[in-house]
Structure 1
Amino acid sequence: MKRIFITGIAVCLLQSSYAQDVFDALRYSYPISSGTARTQAIGGTNISLGGDISSVFINPAGIAQFKTNELVLSPGFNFNKYKINYNDTITKGNKSKLNGGTSGVIFSFGGGRYGRSRNNTTLALAVNQTANFNTRFSYGGRNLNSSYTEKWLEEIKYSNVSTIDGVRSSFPLGASQAYESYLIDIVSSPNGDLLITNADISKNITQHFAYESKGGMTEGAIALAWNSNDKVLYGVTIGIPIVQYDRQTVVTENDGTGNTDNDFESFTFTENLATRGGGINAKLGVLFKPVEYFRIGLTFHTPTIMSLTDYADATITSNIENYSRRLNNDPSKPTSYTYNTKDVNELTGGGDENRYSYQIVTPWRAGLGLSYVFREISDVTKQKAFITGDVELINYKAMKYSSSQGSPDVGETEYFNGLNSQIDEMYKMAINARIGGELKFKTLMVRAGFNFMGSPYNRNFVNDVFGEDLPGWRMTPSLGLGYRDKGVFFDLTYAHAFGRNFHVPYTLQDASYPFAKNNISNGQVVATVGFKF
């Protein structure tokens, strides 16, 4: 009869009921290049330029330049490619998906309070995709340092759980199923009972990780802006982001020794996670025109406060060869076992669904933009060109988790405090820079831009944890064309992002983190069609 007796104290609560980690926080906080085709063609630069519905999500003061009403639609298509290096094994793959840029409607109310034509108020209703979660990638290789099963051992070791039922109820997504399928167990030793894994590194472990996710974060917004004599423009946006995230993770480990009687042949762990929720934020902006041809923009985005709920289930299938037969002295025992979340919940009298709600706060952002417009006059159709640039600060250290309960228990409080401390150590303030320009030939326009996103990671922390300086930057050059005539416009843009990042399949307290290096290569085509009315 198997039993578990935990003698360790609670150093850090790693309970599977709380599925959040430091990397999940970045998913909802890392901005992507988005907007209309015009904005994306100039590198996403629009803090000081204005005159585009994308200003609703960048600097709402920019929509105060509109003198007419406008309807805008921006469909798009994304090409995701990857090349991942895990323990010197290279894996390639791709996934493509439809997405969308900024779409909406703008209403301009001219005349102002005193009837001056250079004063107006503008109202905009818009929607924009602020995160794209559609990815599919996999990688694998030989790992001589750790096994994924050690993650489950540590969950138990560093918790205050001391009974089998406690393991089942506290760790319904992995550890309990690994225990029920004999993948992890307890053995006696001169120093007392020890937790062990049958998939230990002496078996020359070969690992494979596969991830597929879909969904995105779509933000609906209402913006109001005011134009004071075309010299000072200011505006505010209230945004409502909606999160839909679905991910399937499949982890496989195999015995690489070829020994058919060493208590481990393989296991497959499949986890399904669905996250739903929403939040609220505000964007404030001002735009100055000290002279007709020069513009200065300032913007501040408040943190987004989001309430999210995770729904998760998992299944483990293990092949532990003759281990259970010897343990139970019963040759009729099977060599392979499968347990899922429902099986474990039935043992504890729980329901079929593992659900947990929490809150997350994303970073604040502040930006400065400068634009120079060649031949800027009141008749915008006669403008010849512009060049514009932005610099933006994002404080990733400000990301924060918290319980959605009014009075969280001690375990939750300790868990989230520890998680927020890790975020504070791992992340830093990042600088993003963008530049773009346009040449105009009567009704046709040619555009180009460049977007650089700095690494959100604390370099010293990454070096200490992973033993090397892992990058996290991204660059996106872009090209676009535009057409405007008689109240109708059409824009088309291609932007290609490339960069370097890394992926961590699991984290351990007692061993070095495994990681995979990721070469990013993502293309995006965006089209925008608009009508003035």
Structure 2
Amino acid sequence: MKRIFITGIAVCSIQFSFAQDVFDALRYSYQTSAGSARLQSIGSTNISLGGDISSAFINPAGLGQFKTNEIVFTPGFNFNTLKTDYNDLTTKGTKSKFTGGTSGVIFSFGNRFRSSNLKNTTFSIAVNQSANFNSKFTYGGKNLNSSYSEKWLEEIVRSGYTSFDDIRSRFPLGASQAYESYLIDINGNSIFTNADISKNLDQSFAYETKGGMSEVAAAMAWNLNEKFLYGVTIGIPIVQYDRKTTVVEKDGTGNTDNDFESFTFTENLGTRGGGVNAKLGMIIKPVEYFRIGLTFHSPSIITLTDYASASITSNIENYSKKVNNDPTKPTTYTYNTGDVNILTGIEGDENRYSYRMITPWKAGLGLSYVFREISDVTKQKAFITGDVELVDYKMMTYKSNAGTDNGDDAYFNSVNQVIDDMYKMAINTRIGGELKFETIMVRAGFNFMGSPYNKEFFADTFGEELKGWRMTPSLGVGYRDKGFFVDLAYLHSFGRGFHVPYTLTDASYPYAKNNLSNGQIIATIGFKF
């Protein structure tokens, strides 16, 4: 299994200017269950409960509970903290930013024909943030086994390069800059990296990411005799992701004449795209106080375009002077994507590539018990609700854009095979409840997102089981009276994860363990009309 993983990553490294890999696939698939403040305060539990605008993104049948029109706004604020352990060194990163839950409008239409079983039809247009990409973290430490530059070395060797121009045209991001700055060089038939000479390196990695994944939804629901509700949502996911990566390696030997002092690599990646998905759901009320909900979310088909640029500054001490037999040659070189593009006849300071991503399907079951549920909802006293959701992360798939025939499919097939081995089906569970005092409500909930990773795969590949779960307890209060309502929620997520800065064929993988802590305040203001 480890051989499959290494081969897949190696293939990922040699095909395109910047690869879409097995780790990036999870970014657009591991989506949190956001929503209104009311919903998030009860753990985002809403497969069977309904009666919230967030139903459009969880179970559209829940919109059938509405008998009036509503307009809803949900702003929020995130407090992100990430503690990272790498080679016995612990670092901490923070990033806070304004965010948002579900906002939109609901229109409910009663049926004027009394003989019909259809009591009302509800239509909603809403927007929701399904993933928050804002983070900032750094980590580093001593590495006696490998250099980051070796990944560029492997790219060049495996490509079967035929000339220096071939290297420039195939690898405009990273490998070309490393070659142009003498960090990587060729001696006859031998290609090597100067940074690998010492095998005693001080490494540091810094990552700053911005953006998020939002979804615009149009949903409809139908209510049959208050016993059976069903609905459908057409969603349009929108992706905006930006990442800045900075890698610094320094010679840890103290030798000032071993052809390597340091290098700094900076990469800027921007991803933009959009797609489409569908959600189906039903809610059954066999008795007035008990509800059963079922929902299915189709995979999202998303077209994405990556925009990337990179630069390398290397200090190779006296190496350039030696190989050129020229004492006037500098010890430090800097090259960026624009410099390489000029050499290959490409205009601009960045490169771009478009492709498609298919996210996993989801299926869920929910149960709710409502205390004193009667026709006058103002007399309802409390409810408790719970969800179980299945997400098959093995179904994440990359595809080339329709109509292209440039060898992309072979690359994506290799990545998809690794995804199938690396990920598994995960189980997410949520539970929440509300207690009502006339116009005031208090709420609490708990949300657990299971790990998407195949633990046997990681135990075999990295020598230990790497974890990737998240749990979120939540509390909230609400006020409703005379067509106006306001809700406030506080959530605090805890989780475990990991980060792999680079992969190599013939070396153990360096990786960092992450401890996630994320506080979030959400407020919802709504009006009935």
TM-score w.r.t. length of structure 1:
0.96
CA contact (8 A) 2:145 2:199 kept: no
Amino acid at match of 2:250: N
Q: Distance in 2 between matches of 1:23 and 1:442?
A: 49
SS of alignment partner, residue 420 of structure 2: helix
Q: Distance in 1 between matches of 2:488 and 2:510?
A: 41
Runs of 5+ consecutive residues of structure 1 not aligned to the other structure = 1-9
User: Within 5 A, what are the aligned runs for 1:415-430?
Assistant: 415-430=411-426
Distance change in 2, residues 1:302/1:520 (3 Å)? same
Residue of structure 2 in register with 1:390 after alignment: 387
Residue of structure 2 in register with 1:341 after alignment: 337
User: Within 5 A, what are the aligned runs for 1:147-296?
Assistant: 147-188=147-188, 193-200=189-196, 202-296=198-292
Q: In the TM superposition, what is the alpha-carbon distance from 1:117 to its structure 2 partner? A: 9.1
Q: In the TM superposition, what is the alpha-carbon distance from 1:167 to its structure 2 partner? A: 0.8
- What do the CA deviations read for 1:408-466 (whole angstroms, capped 9, x no partner)? 223x1211111101111110000000000000000000100000000000111111111
Paired-residue identity, %: 72
Amino acid at match of 1:22: V
Q: Distance in 2 between matches of 1:354 and 1:394?
A: 34
User: Within 5 A, what are the aligned runs for 1:486-525?
Assistant: 486-525=482-521
Q: In the TM superposition, what is the alpha-carbon distance from 1:500 to its structure 2 partner? A: 0.6
Amino acid at match of 1:436: G
CA contact (8 A) 1:12 1:159 kept: no
Q: Distance in 2 between matches of 1:160 and 1:45?
A: 53
Q: Distance in 2 between matches of 1:116 and 1:444?
A: 36
Q: Distance in 1 between matches of 2:312 and 2:461?
A: 29
1:409 corresponds to 2:398: no
CA contact (8 A) 1:466 1:512 kept: yes
CA contact (8 A) 1:11 1:159 kept: no
- What do the CA deviations read for 1:258-297 (whole angstroms, capped 9, x no partner)? 1111100000000001111100000000000000000000
CA contact (8 A) 1:478 1:496 kept: yes
CA contact (8 A) 1:13 1:414 kept: no
1:310 corresponds to 2:309: no
2:361 to 364, 367, 384: 364
Q: Distance in 2 between matches of 1:392 and 1:503?
A: 26
SS of alignment partner, residue 128 of structure 2: strand
1:451 corresponds to 2:450: no
Amino acid at match of 2:223: N
Residue of structure 1 in register with 2:522 after alignment: 526
Amino acid at match of 1:14: S
Residue of structure 2 in register with 1:327 after alignment: 323
- What do the CA deviations read for 1:47-74 (whole angstroms, capped 9, x no partner)? 0000000000000000000000000000
Q: In the TM superposition, what is the alpha-carbon distance from 1:116 to its structure 2 partner? A: 5.9
Amino acid at match of 1:223: A
- What do the CA deviations read for 1:14-38 (whole angstroms, capped 9, x no partner)? 2341421111110000011310000
Q: Distance in 2 between matches of 1:23 and 1:68?
A: 44
Regions of 4+ moved over 6 Å = none
CA contact (8 A) 2:466 2:497 kept: yes
Residue of structure 2 in register with 1:49 after alignment: 49
Residue of structure 2 in register with 1:474 after alignment: 470
Q: Distance in 2 between matches of 1:344 and 1:442?
A: 68
Q: Distance in 1 between matches of 2:130 and 2:39?
A: 14
1:17 corresponds to 2:13: no
Amino acid at match of 1:99: T
Q: Distance in 2 between matches of 1:176 and 1:11?
A: 17
CA contact (8 A) 1:264 1:320 kept: yes
Q: Distance in 2 between matches of 1:243 and 1:13?
A: 22
Q: Distance in 2 between matches of 1:347 and 1:496?
A: 51
Amino acid at match of 1:146: S
- What do the CA deviations read for 1:75-116 (whole angstroms, capped 9, x no partner)? 000000011000010001211000000000000001254466
CA contact (8 A) 1:147 1:201 kept: no
SS of alignment partner, residue 303 of structure 2: strand
Residue of structure 2 in register with 1:374 after alignment: 371
SS of alignment partner, residue 202 of structure 1: coil
Distance change in 2, residues 1:63/1:321 (3 Å)? same
- What do the CA deviations read for 1:107-151 (whole angstroms, capped 9, x no partner)? 000125446697100000000001111111111111111110011
CA contact (8 A) 2:150 2:193 kept: yes
Q: In the TM superposition, what is the alpha-carbon distance from 1:359 to its structure 2 partner? A: 0.2
Q: In the TM superposition, what is the alpha-carbon distance from 1:43 to its structure 2 partner? A: 0.4
TM-score w.r.t. length of structure 2:
0.96
SS of alignment partner, residue 146 of structure 1: coil
CA RMSD in angstroms, aligned pairs only: 1.3
Instruction: Answer with 434-443 or 398-407: which moved more.
Output: 398-407
CA contact (8 A) 1:38 1:493 kept: yes
Instruction: Answer with 399-408 or 27-36: which moved more.
Output: 399-408
Q: Distance in 2 between matches of 1:31 and 1:11?
A: 28
CA contact (8 A) 1:112 1:120 kept: no
